[in-house]
Chain A
Amino acid sequence: MSSNLETGLAARAALAYWACQLLGWGINLFGQLSSAASTVGQPLATAVIEVASLNALALIFTHQLRKVVKRHEWHQLPLSSLLPRMVASSVAMALPLAILMHFMTVANMWSGSIQQIEQLPGIVSWIGAIDPLLLRTINWSAVLFLWVVLYLCITSLRDRRSVELRQSELKRALQTAELRVLKSQLNPHFLFNSLNSVRALIADDPAAAQRAVTQLARTLRYTLRSGHEELVSLERELEIVEDYLELESLRLGDRLRIERRVSVPADRTRIPVMLLQTVVENAIKHGIAELPEGGVLSIRAELRESTLIIEVENPRPAASAPATNEGVGLRNAAERLNLLFGNDAGLQLDLSSPALAVARIHIPQTT
């Protein structure tokens, strides 16, 4: 989406650039022609060709200069080093034009104004009087300097606008992504099914309904808070996993059987928030909930040489090819794990046995 936007903007900028170039040099051409017509009594056709080719050359020069400006990033320069470059480049482009003019019939098109220049004070009148070549150079330099000033002003204005545009674009994309993450963490399928279970329980078993509402509230609060903290104790995460599993047991009935083997000082073990929860949710959603007879969900945690090993094992439908969206939650979890702990930590989903899925997490523990 943003690349489309950028190519669109670039195409529009290129169009605007060429329009300005042609318009600017066109105006200059007509200006020079009118002064040539008034000062030089030439056959006008020759003058037209000469002035037109001079302006075409100027256009080519400035187009080349634009490449230099872009490559050497003149926009980043402070004014103290930018100004000399602007003057030097203007003169450098003006000089060949002025020399070329020397061999043309319009060579003296500005000489008519020498009298006026002589009336000017100081150095300008002096230079103008001394050398027509210098006069032509100064004239062209002024035009080309104006070009450089205009070019830099317009492009820096445009750049600032496109930066602002890109920032707002980026912000919107970020918000969409955040929303999507939150939605996937809230697990709407689970949420609405749980609410339906609660509705059923209210009449049959009010105490169970009350417990379910509390568990649902705790699960939701934990999910919403998970945006604010990175690491939690394994103990805290396991509490939420238990709440979640009890709610799923309401839905799935005796299809969900749970086995736990945690031989870790869980209060002193740190894991990324929602990591185990995501893995367990995945095991139910794509494993046990897909099986008419259900199965045993097994959660194991142990400490091996100061590395925490967590395994979540579940049966899965035999013929299931990994669905396209199946991996997204786990992949995000694995990426987050690597961001927090580097390559020492990891999360792998082992699907090597046909009817079983095992998610293995290993996280180094500093203490």
Chain B
Amino acid sequence: MKALIVDDEPLARRELRRLLADFDWIEIVGEASNINEAQKAVDTLAPELLFLDIQMPGGSGFDLLTRIEHVPRVIFTTAYDHHAVHAFEVNALDYLLKPIEPERLASALSRARDAASPAGSGNVASARVAGQSVESVERLFIRDGERCWFVPLREVCLMAAEGNYVRLHWHDARPLLARPLSSLEERLDPQRYFRANRRQIINLEFIENVELGSGGLLHVQLRGGPEVEISRRQARLFRAQMSV
């Protein structure tokens, strides 16, 4: 499993490297000392696992995650950060406190491996093994106030524009993504997602039933989500694509 270490302190990176030497299935593909370096490293090296410090000069670990396109699996590391640890705990994120205890590292790594195994879901590596398109298992990191989420895109049933932001309908949560709907649309698999109208993109796998509306409109009921109206223009496309 390809791993990237992101920490501003050289000694902390060295220490983590040594701790990881005991795990031969972990391949450390690079290090970064700030989030700009880290962003480049993620793009070029495509790590599957990220060891991510929170407090760094020039931007926090959370900032990095909202910036990168393809979010790998993340294990947060921090020495002492009351707020971050609170965020990890309420959101059930994987984190390690420095100095890192080898036992805790081992259990975090085994969780990462379980998630990456073909039986697990939602990981780039497993998708490649299974021959699925990478896009279909992409995850988004969203920080909305105190709460944060790793949201697997395939589990999102509806994306609705709210100004320059996007409200995601994901199970019972409604996190707000700080980017415009159009930039999100570029990343989506057109086989799976459909632009219903100017403001909404729906996940086709969540469609429960479709009803004809007046004036050529279509009403789509989404499983675990609201009813969405497909505009007249898009309705033609929709019929063609779904052959209804």
Contacts and interface: CB of A to CB of B under 8 A. Distances in A.
A253 B57 contact: no
A250 interface: yes
B12 A197 contact: yes
A193 B12 contact: yes
B55 to A, nearest CB: 8
Interface string A60-83: 000000000000000000000000
B33 interface: yes
Interface in A186-201: 188-189, 191-193, 195-201
A50 interface: no
B79 interface: yes
Contacts of B11: 196-197, 200-201, 250-251, 253
Contacts of A322: none
Interface in A260-306: 289-292
A199 B16 CA distance: 10
Nearest to B79: A192
A213 B96 CA distance: 23
B15 to A, nearest CB: 4
A157 interface: no
A317 B58 CA distance: 8
A192 B80 contact: yes
Nearest to B98: A196
B205 interface: no
A321 interface: no
A229 interface: no
A37 interface: no
Nearest to A288: B57
Contacts of B227: none
B57 A189 contact: no
B34 A193 contact: no
Contact of B14 (A191, A195, A204): A204
B113 to A, nearest CB: 25
Contact of B97 (A192, A198, A204, A250): A192
Q: Which of A193, A251, A253, A291 has the most CB of B within 10 A?
A: A193
A203 interface: yes
Contacts of A292: 8, 33-34, 36, 57-58
Nearest to B14: A200
B63 interface: no
A197 B8 CA distance: 12
A152 interface: no
Contact of B98 (A192, A203, A252, A253): A192
Interface string B39-68: 000000000000000010110000000000
* Interface band, chain B: 20 to 34
A189 B81 contact: yes
A192 B77 CA distance: 12
B15 A189 contact: no
Given A191-B80, A251-B9, A251-B11, A196 B33 contact: no
A250 B9 CA distance: 9
A212 B12 CA distance: 15
B10 A253 contact: yes
Contacts of A252: 9
B18 interface: yes
Nearest to B15: A200
Contacts of A289: 57
B99 interface: yes
Given A189-B81, A192-B80, A203 B18 contact: yes
Contact of A291 (B9, B18, B36, B57): B57
Contacts of B81: 189
A203 B99 CA distance: 14
A343 B33 CA distance: 45
Contacts of B15: 196-197, 199-200
Contacts of A199: 15, 99
A197 B34 contact: no
A251 B53 CA distance: 14
A201 B97 CA distance: 18
Nearest to A205: B11
Interface string B11-39: 11011001000000000000001101000
A319 to B, nearest CB: 11
A317 B57 CA distance: 9
Given A192-B97, A204-B14, A289-B57, A197 B80 contact: no
13 contacts: A188-B80, A189-B80, A191-B80, A193-B98, A195-B99, A196-B100, A197-B9, A197-B11, A204-B14, A251-B9, A289-B57, A292-B34, A292-B57
Given A200-B12, A290-B57, 14 more contacts: A188-B80, A192-B97, A193-B12, A196-B9, A196-B11, A196-B98, A196-B99, A199-B99, A200-B18, A201-B11, A251-B12, A253-B10, A291-B58, A292-B34
Interface of A: 188-189, 191-193, 195-201, 203-204, 250-253, 289-292, 317
Instruction: Report, nearest first, the 7 A-B pairs whose CB atoms are least far apart.
Output: A200-B15, A192-B79, A196-B98, A200-B11, A188-B80, A193-B79, A196-B99
